Amino acid sequence: MGRFELGSFVLGARRPTAGPGTRGALSPDVQVGLPRRFEAVAEALVSGSDATSACAVAGRDLAMDGSSLEETMAGLRQTWQVVRGQDPAYDALSALLVAWSEAAMSYFHTLSCEDPMTGLATRAHVRSRLGDLYRRHGAGDVDAGWALVVCELAGDAPGADGVDHGTRLAATLRLSRVGEAARTVFAAGETVGRLAPHRVVVVASRNDRLGTRVRLLRSLVTGLTDDPARVWIEGLPRTELAASQLLDELARS
């Protein structure tokens, strides 16, 4: 039996046939040689129909299962070799890869919305929220109608050299409490995110209540931690690119 290797996968290259007197039904030999999630692809190949849709479904399902791209491609090639004794068609491979990539990106985007340690929105999600505002309202109106409220805890940031794990955990818990305080003050659906190990940011509407809310947040944060904290309003620039650069600067400093 011929075989080929792709990464750590060793795949057979045999060609069983469909069961006698059937069209589109898989024989036991074919079923045994199929990788997981590729049964529908094999059925399409046996029946002589277009397999691209089945490949797209397989690629999406495997991405959501956590299968690597290498494993997914190897599974398609194994399926084609088992049924037809040849490598997969370009259209089928393309459908598989596009579906896998889109599903994987969607999954990682979902993961990136919330910081698992604090429950706050990630910097990527804050950036996305700002991008939505600039696209929806126009660059000239965002700086007048919206602002960033930044809350900074003093002391060594978690992750800095010389800071032990216990100190990092304590600082993370403090930041989580600050985030809860920010959600209490800005309770109208504003995005509250983690910019850095020692900074929380709120994408807030710039209205006549903003100053009062900032003072209230400063008061609440002072009661939550023994460390001094700064809370200030950061104006948004006129372009989305400059706003993204501002976030990066606030995350670094």
Interval 173-223: pLDDT, tens: 888 999 999 999 999 989 999 998 889 999 999 999 999 999 999 999 988
Assess if residue 116 is contained within a domain: no
Final residue in a domain of this structure, among 57, 86, 109: 109
The Cα-based distances of 194 to 22, 26, 68, 79, 107 in angstroms read 59, 53, 30, 45, 20
Same-domain pairing of 13 and 52? yes
Residue 239 in this model has a pLDDT that exceeds 70: yes
77 and 148 both lie in a single domain: no
12 and 102 co-located in one domain? yes
Among 48, 80, 109, which residue terminates a domain? 109
Q: Which domain holds residue 215?
A: 123-252
pLDDT at 164: 47
Position 8 in a domain: yes
Longest distance between any two alpha carbons in the chain, whole Å: 80
The answer to whether position 12 is within a domain reads: yes
Global pTM reads 0.56
> How many domains does the chain divide into?
2
Categorize the per-residue pLDDT at 77 as very low, low, confident or very high, splitting at 50, 70 and 90: very high
Q: Within a domain: residue 118?
A: no
Q: Are residues 88 and 185 in the same domain?
A: no
Q: Is the same domain home to 248 and 127?
A: yes
Quick check: is 226 in a domain? yes
Residues 195 and 80 in one domain: no
What is the arithmetic mean of pLDDT over 10-27?
Answer: 42
